[in-house]
Amino acid sequence: MKRYNYIAKNDEGKKQEGILEAENKDAVLETLRKKSLSPISVREQKVSLISKINEIGHVSSKEKVMISKELATLVNAGIPISQAMHIMEDQAESKMMKKAIGEIANDIEGGFSLSSAMEKHKHIFGPLYVNMIRAGEVGGMLDKALEKMAEEEEKNHELKAKIRGAMAYPMVIMIALILVVIYMITSVIPQIAVVFTEMGGDLPGSTKFLMGLSDIFRSYGIIVIVAVLGLFFGAKKLLATSRDIRYMWHQLLNRLPIFGKLVRKVNVARFTRTLGSLLSSGVAVIESLQISADTLKNEVFKKEILDAAIKVEGGSTLAEPLKKSKVFPSMVSHMISVGEETGTLDATLMKVTDFFEKEVDHSVKNLSSILEPLLMIVIGLGAGFIVISVITPIYQMTTLF
């Protein structure tokens, strides 16, 4: 899609200027005609590299929650959606969100629906958001759909915050430990080793090991750092581009002794909440399953859900394929079976969601309580090894006199 600057006249003869995004100039002219504007000038906008860099940003879950809530309030108050979007453009905090909302407002004025306009910005408004808004538009409950999406985004934000909060302390401790070890092997150990060697002593094995690390860091430090970063970003790129590699990685995550349970519970909670929300908004079961799979990042869960969608399309109930699943707990398939039999699947899924979200809370708290003593043991062993490596040659030095 290209961006075009336009100058046009309205029915009263007043000039209007603006920017439209379209495939070509003809599409821009067609959009202007639909808006009852007579084009004077239409020119393709040349975007500089600096402009592109300035537009790079991040849209937080918190901002999406705020935008959804305020937009729902404006729509509920009877303000036209295009006008409401222009108001939200002024309220947006990040450059990326401000730019996206401005373009959505222009598209709506050009004849697009809100969901179709949002679909162009999939990096901000995912498939769940777009389809919930589309269902709200069809059912004449756009404000309710926006409120529901605000609630969904808020729950996602809270879930991510809990997991990040649980991992923050261990990460800080590990980084601090690594920095201390690097300082010791590059500054303290070499000085002790030089003195000890000059006195004719033989270094202990632990000290020789640290000296070897010290030599590597002092001689090839930049190469080591570049290699580690290269491996990290290379692995990240490989995970992003290869579905098979992602599948194997997610299989490994799901099977981890402690962390694996948390991963499974988080994905089950997200799946049931998304599916329940879509079904309650009137989206068809097959489409709801496909969208629910698309909102999950875990490839193992995604494959299971898409396989279930194919079987449901062939006439099976949803509970049947999930009973045979290796990642979904049996409770999920039993509850879904009850929901299908009673015709209350959406409500049943939300009950399952509430249960697993509480389970996630407990798991996060347990994870924190398990990681803290483990970290203390790791720190104790690391500190003990360094102390022995430093104290032993000093003690041996005293025996040389």
Are 220 and 191 spatial neighbours (Cβ–Cβ below 8 Å)?
no
pLDDT in tens, 44-93: 766 544 444 444 456 777 788 888 888 888 888 888 888 888 888 888 88
Are 120 and 1 spatial neighbours (Cβ–Cβ below 8 Å)?
yes
pLDDT in tens, 1-26: 566 777 777 777 777 666 666 667 77
Segment 265-280 mean pLDDT:
88
| pLDDT over threshold 60, residue 227 | yes
**For residue 54, what pLDDT is reported?**
41
Which pTM was predicted? 0.67
**For residue 49, what pLDDT is reported?**
42
Segment 330-336 mean pLDDT:
91
Give the chain's mean pLDDT.
Answer: 81
pLDDT in tens, 144-181: 888 888 887 787 777 777 777 777 777 888 788 778 77
**For residue 252, what pLDDT is reported?**
92
